[in-house]
Amino acid sequence: MTELPAVLITGCSSGVGKATAWRFMRAGHPVYATARDTGTLSELEQDGAVTLALDVTDEESMAAAVKRVEADHGAVGILVNNAAYGIQGAVERVKLDDARRQFETNFFGLAALTQMVLPAMRLRRSGRIVNVSAMGGHFSLPGAGFLHASKFAVEALSDALRLEVRGLGISVVLVEPGPIRTPFPTKINATLPPPDGGPYDSFHEAVEARVSAAYEPKRLSLALSPDRVAQVIERAALRSRPRARYPVGVMARGLITLSRHLPDAAVDAITRSQFPGPTA
C-alpha cells in the first residue's frame, strides 16, 4: 500500500492549525504538527501526530522540522503554512517595529519554510503547498492596514510561486477564510495603540467594538468554525487539480467578489458605510 503524503503544518497550538492536523490524521496521513511551544500540542501527540517545536521567525527550528520529515518520508508531501497573527491600528499610529515583526511571521516565515521544502519536492516531482491567507488579502479595511498588507504579500508570493513550480510537479494553493471563531479578536484588539488624546482614539474604540461584534457568538453568525476552514484546507491539499484560491464562507466569497468587480470608488463607499474612518 502506498504511503499517503506526509503533512507539515505550522501554528497547531489551537484553532485552524489544530483542526487541520486532526483532519489529516483521520484521513491516514503522517502528520507533523508544530508550534513554538510543544506543550500546546499534547492532545495532537496523544492522537498520533509527531509534534515539533517550530517558530517561523527562527530558521534553525524550521530547518530542523523539515529535516525530520525528510528523514522519515523523503520529502514534505503537503506543507500547510498556517501560522500567523494580526495587529490593528491606524497606519499613522502603528509602530513600524510591530509591523515588521508581523511580516516576519505572516510573510517572511512562510516564505522561508516554503523555500526549505521545495528542493525535496522538486526531486520527487510532487508536492502541495497550501498558504492560509484571508479575505483581507483582496481588500483592506481601515484600522487593519498592516495586517491586510501581510496577507496581500502572501497572495502575491503564492501567485508567482504557483507559476514557477507548476512544471515541476508542485501545486500552490491559497485558502482565504473570513472571520473565524478563535481567540483572535481578543488578541488583535489588545494590539490597538493606547489612547493619546489624538484624532484616532474614538476610531480605535470603534474598531475594537466592530471586531468583537463580528466574532461574538450569536444565533446567525458569519464567523466560521476552525474545522470548517480545516475542511477546505484538506480539500485544497488533496484535490488532484486544485483551484488557485479557495475563499471560505459567505462573507469571504461575497466581499472578494465585490472587491474584484466593483470600481474602487464603489468599494470605498461601501467600506466607509460599514467601517467609517476617523474624522477631524
pLDDT digits (tens, 9 = 90+) for 27-54: 999 999 999 999 999 999 999 999 999 9
CA-CA distance, 214 to 229, in Å (whole number)? 17
pLDDT digits (tens, 9 = 90+) for 249-268: 898 999 899 899 999 999 99
- Please give the average per-residue pLDDT across 190-213, as a whole number: 93
Look at the block and give the residue holding cell 492532545.
43
pLDDT at 218 exceeding the cut of 70: no
The number of beta carbons lying within 10 Å of the beta carbon of residue 142 is: 16
DSSP assignment of 222-279: -PBPHHHHHHHHHHHHH-SS--SEEEESHHHHHHHHHHHHS-HHHHHHHHHHHS----
pLDDT digits (tens, 9 = 90+) for 156-194: 999 999 999 999 999 999 999 998 888 888 899 999 999
pLDDT for the residue 280: 72
Q: Which domains does the chain have, with CATH numbers?
A: 7-274 (3.40.50.720)
Is the distance from CB of 47 to CB of 66 less than 8 angstroms? no
Which of the four pLDDT bands, split at 50, 70 and 90, describes residue 220? low
- The answer for residues whose C-beta is within 8 angstroms of residue 192's C-beta and 6 or more apart is 88, 89, 204, 207, 208
